[in-house]
Amino acid sequence: MKTIDTLIAEGVAGRRVFVRADLNVPLAGDGDAARTITDDGRIRAVLPTLRALLGAGARVVVASHLGRPKGAPEQRFSLAPVAARLGELLGQDVAFAADTDGESARATVAALGDGQVALLENLRFSPGETSKDDAERGAFADRLAELADLYVGDGFGAVHRKHASVFDLPARLPHAAGELIATEVGVLRRLTDDVSRPYAVVLGGAKVSDKLGVIDHLLERADRILVGGGMVFTFLKAQGHEVGSSLLQEDQLPVVREYLERAEKRGVEFVLPVDVVAAAAFPDLETKASADPAVVPADAIPAGLMGLDIGPESGALYAAKLADAATVFWNGPMGVFEHPEFAAGTRAVAQGLLDSSAFTVVGGGDSAAAVRLLGFDENAFGHISTGGGASLEYLEGKTLPGLVALED
């Protein structure tokens, strides 16, 4: 896989470089003027690649998706706020094209000078970006290719998608991997090919069904798996415990029981909470009003209460289980970390990673957002991924179309 360093060494001055980034940042507010970015981590992640190209005199054309529009423009998914923030972070103007492959895009790109940058409107406003029809997707890639001379893939959060800008476009232009993708792949190889042990994995999030593939894969590789978040209640129920009104996926109980049995046979330690923080209703995340939480035993959650975080004893237990690890991969919060009454479990895990001497990887998505929201120093972790779904699929052993497309 050619890297951006090689591309720059070959010469990019005066050439149009299409950078497929992942700028799918969370936005808050209603209406055009009120849309504000609540976490700019993914924008900051692509800055090294953009700065390297701009410094070498390239004319940089950045493209990304945002949200899940249905193949047509939707103002709430416009990348206009991202263009403004990107300009602030780069310290230079970012031209914004009002479309992706139309008149505005062509004029905006044509007006670029050496060392200047433009951002195209949301790629998913075109049905060709996500089409399952190869011809439709290819036709869109053809139009995008007309805007550039070179292609750099740096949107790791999208490499598991067979989309036009991720999979088809690199085949039409000389291509290379950006700094972010090169870093992400290097980190994930350390979690799969040559792992330092003990290898501990922390999994959270709402649904166990979202993590079945990675659990199945890690049962063959990890030494210890710690489970939290909404998904943990399916594990507790599979052990025969009462979970009150907690989130539960009844249809996943058989497969969870099978995983627990496999773990025991293989000597993989499965760690579940011993206590949880529960409440009668899901908390209000806007007002942060008290939900009157109660700490209850994890194996006997009262009827009418739902678990919303692992409890203090569990937080201490999980930190202890991480203390001697040499490698830790964490994907998914331990509770509703956005509310202060249910953030302690996630905080305990994050602190446990920092207190260990392990190579620590925070697997993107809500885990990365939690690290920032709870005020941790991102640089203190070994790596914070920008692609939760892509990271999980890599760890499952799946082939990622966006990485295949970047191979020489």
Q: Which spans in 111-211 are helix H? A: 127-130, 134-145, 179-192
| Token duo for residue 225 | 């798996």
Query: Is 248 assigned a ligand-binding role in the annotation?
Result: no
**Would the annotation count 24 as a binding residue?**
yes
Q: Return d(Cα 276, Cα 300) in angstroms, integer.
A: 10
**Alpha-carbon distance 5 to 7, whole Å?**
5
**Residue 124 annotated as binding?**
yes
Q: Is 42 annotated as a binding residue?
A: yes
Helix axes 312-323, 344-355, angle to 10 degrees: 20
Catalytic residues: 42, 207, 365, 389
307 annotated as a binding-site residue: yes
Q: How far apart are CA 129 and CA 108, in angstroms?
A: 20
Q: Cα separation of 121 and 21, whole Å?
A: 12
CA neighbor of 218 nearest in space, from 323, 319, 329 = 329
**59: Cβ–Cβ under 8 A, 6 or more apart, which residues?**
14, 15, 16, 17, 109, 112, 113, 114, 115, 116, 117
67 has binding-site annotation:
yes
Residue 87 counted as an annotated binding residue: no
CB 35 within 8 A of CB 76: yes
Residue 161 annotated as binding site: yes
- Known binding residue 367? Answer is yes
Q: At what angle do helices 365-373 and 344-355 cross, to 10 degrees?
A: 90
> 80-90 and 47-55 helices cross at what angle (nearest 10)?
60
Tally DSSP H helices, then E strands, for the chain.
Answer: 16, 19
In angstroms, how far is CA 209 from the centroid of its own chain? 17
163 is in an annotated binding site: no
Q: What is the torsional sign of CA 215, 217, 220, 224?
A: negative
Question: Would the annotation count 253 as a binding residue?
Answer: no
Which contiguous run of DSSP H or E holds residue 178? none
* 143 carries a ligand binding annotation: no
Residue 366 annotated as binding site: yes
Q: Where are the beta strands (DSSP E) in 216-336?
A: 224-227, 242-243, 269-271, 275-279, 294-297, 300-301, 306-310, 327-331
Give the annotated binding-site residues.
22-24, 42, 65-68, 124, 161, 211, 307, 338, 364-367
Give the annotated binding-site residues for ATP.
211, 307, 338, 364-367
